Structure formats: structure tokens, C-alpha cells
């Protein structure tokens, strides 16, 4: 089943009237629904076209250990791929990347 279809069928989320609404719904409803943890929206650009999603808890980091030889792998980058794939289904442009993560010795995930 397509991720967006599943979200729309089960979330009862209201229609988004703006990009900021979309960011809030993805962060607070979609991530909670699919990962069990919400994200925080922040670091908006001055033109309000880009923002950051911050996870205070990341189940991928909590239940994952990488061997030393894979120390440079950004395991949680799979979240960027999920977001990209879901947004491509509705023909929305997306570019995303992890900036820091617990598996890399930083915070967040």
C-alpha cells in the first residue's frame, strides 16, 4: 500500500492550507503514526520554503548498533528516503539529509 494513501485513510488529518501546515502534519501526525515518535519543526528559512525536522527520540537509533567498519553510514538517512518517496507520490519536490545523529556520536538520531 502506498504510504500517503495509508496516512490519508487512517489519520483523519485536516487538509493542509499551507506549507507550514504540511510540515506540522508530517512532523506531529505522520511520524507519530508510522514511527511512534513525533518530530519538531524548526529552522525555517527566511523564504519559508525549507525547514528542519528534529527528533528528540529516534527508534532507528535506539534499536540499531552499527559495527565500527560501518561507522560512516548514516543509518537514519532512511527517514529522508521515506519522506522523499512519499512526497514523490504526490508530485512534491523534496531534498533532505541528516545533519547529525546518535549513531554518529551526535544528538538526534
The pLDDT tens digits for 51-78 are: 888 888 777 777 777 778 876 777 777 7
Return the residue matching grid coordinates 519536490: 93
Q: Is residue 109 part of a domain?
A: no
Instruction: For residue 47, tell me if it sits in a domain.
Output: yes
- Confidence bin at 108 (pLDDT 50/70/90): very low
Q: Is the dihedral of CA 39, 105, 48, 80 positive or negative?
A: negative
Number of domains forming the structure of the chain: 1
What gap in Å lies between CA 41 and CA 23, rounded to an integer? Answer: 7
Range of the domain at 87: 3-104
Q: How far apart are CA 27 and CA 94, in angstroms?
A: 15
Binning the chain into helix, strand and coil, the percentages to the nearest 5 are: 45, 5, 50
How far is it, in rounded angstroms, from Cα 94 to Cα 79?
A: 13
Residue with cell 485536516: 14
> Higher model confidence: residue 14 or residue 57?
14
Condensed to tens digits (0 to 9), the pLDDT of residues 79-93 reads 778 888 887 877 777
Residue 9, class by beta-carbon neighbours within 10 Å (0-12 exposed, 13-18 middle, 19+ buried)? exposed
**C-alpha cell of 96?**
533532505
Stated pTM of the model: 0.70
Say which CATH number the domain at 18 has. Answer: 3.30.1380.20
* Contacts for 98 with CB less than 8 Å, ≥ 6 apart: 74, 76, 77, 79, 80, 109
Amino acid at each position: 500500500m502506498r504510504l500517503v494513501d495509508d496516512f490519508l485513510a487512517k489519520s483523519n488529518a485536516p487538509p493542509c492550507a499551507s506549507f507550514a501546515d504540511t510540515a506540522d502534519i508530517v512532523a506531529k501526525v505522520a511520524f507519530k503514526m508510522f514511527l511512534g515518535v513525533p518530530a519538531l519543526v524548526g529552522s525555517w528559512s527566511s523564504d519559508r520554503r525549507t525547514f528542519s525536522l528534529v527528533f528528540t527520540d529516534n527508534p532507528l537509533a535506539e534499536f540499531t548498533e552499527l559495527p565500527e567498519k560501518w561507522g560512516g553510514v548514516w543509518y537514519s538517512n532512511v527517514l529522508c528516503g521515506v519522506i522523499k518517496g512519499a512526497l514523490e507520490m504526490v508530485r512534491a519536490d523534496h531534498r533532505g539529509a541528516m545533519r547529525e545523529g546518535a549513531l554518529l556520536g551526535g544528538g538526534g538520531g
